[in-house]
Amino acid sequence: MRRVVSWGLYCLILAIPAGAVLVWPPGDAGARPGRSEIIFQGFSTLEDTFSGAVFPAFQAQWRAERGEEVQFVASFGSVGKITNGILQGVPADMVVLHTDIGVRQLVEAGVVPPDVCARLPRGGMLIHTPIVIVVRPGNPLGIRDFKDLTRPGVLIVHADPGTSGQSYWAILAEYGAGSRNGGGWSGANELLRGIWKNVVSQPRSAREARSVFESGVGDALVTSEQDAIWGRAVGTLRAEIVYPRSTIVSEANLMVISKNVEERERPAVNALIEFFWSERCQRILVEHGFRSSNEDLNEAQGTFGIIEDLFSIEDLGGWKKVRREVIEGTWKQVLAETRRG
- Domain-wise residue ranges, the chain: 6-127+251-296, 128-250+306-340
What CA–CA distance (Å, rounded) separates 292 from 282? 6
Cα 119 to chain centroid, rounded: 21
Residue 44 pLDDT: 84
Residue 64 pLDDT: 95
Residue 116 pLDDT: 87
What CA–CA distance (Å, rounded) separates 131 from 222? 7
User: Which DSSP category does 70 fall into?
Assistant: E
Residue 153 pLDDT: 96
- Mean pLDDT by groups of 10 residues along the chain of 341 residues: 41 43 46 75 91 97 94 90 91 89 86 88 92 98 98 96 86 95 87 94 92 97 96 95 97 93 94 96 95 88 91 93 87 79 62
The CATH homologous superfamily for domain 128-250+306-340 is: Periplasmic binding protein-like II (3.40.190.10)
Residue 31 pLDDT: 43
CATH of region 6-127+251-296, choose from 3.90.470.20, 3.20.20.70, 3.40.190.10, 3.40.640.10 = 3.40.190.10
Buried b (16+ CB within 10 A) or exposed e, 284-319: bbbebbbbbeeeebbeebeebeebeebbebeebeeb
Task: Centre a 10 Å sphere on the Cβ of residue 245 and count the other Cβ atoms it contains.
Answer: 15
Residue 39 pLDDT: 96
Residue 79 pLDDT: 81
Going from the C-alpha of 135 to that of each of 24, 186, 216, 279, 288, the distances in angstroms are: 37, 27, 11, 33, 20
Among 289, 254, 283, smallest CA distance to 129 is for 289
Give pTM, 2 decimals: 0.86
What contacts 24+ positions apart, CB below 8 Å, involve 315-320?
315/176, 316/172, 316/175, 316/176, 316/248, 319/100
Residue 8 pLDDT: 45
Q: Where are the beta strands (DSSP E) in 51-139?
A: 70-77, 94-97, 125-135
Residue 46 pLDDT: 92
Rg (CA), the chain: 20
Among 267, 252, 279, 263, smallest CA distance to 82 is for 252
3-state SS assignment for residue 271: helix
Asked if residue 39 lies in contact with residue 96, where contact means CB atoms within 8 angstroms, the answer is: no
Give ∠ CA 276-228-321 in degrees, rounded to 5. Answer: 70
Domains 6-127+251-296 and 128-250+306-340 share a fold: yes
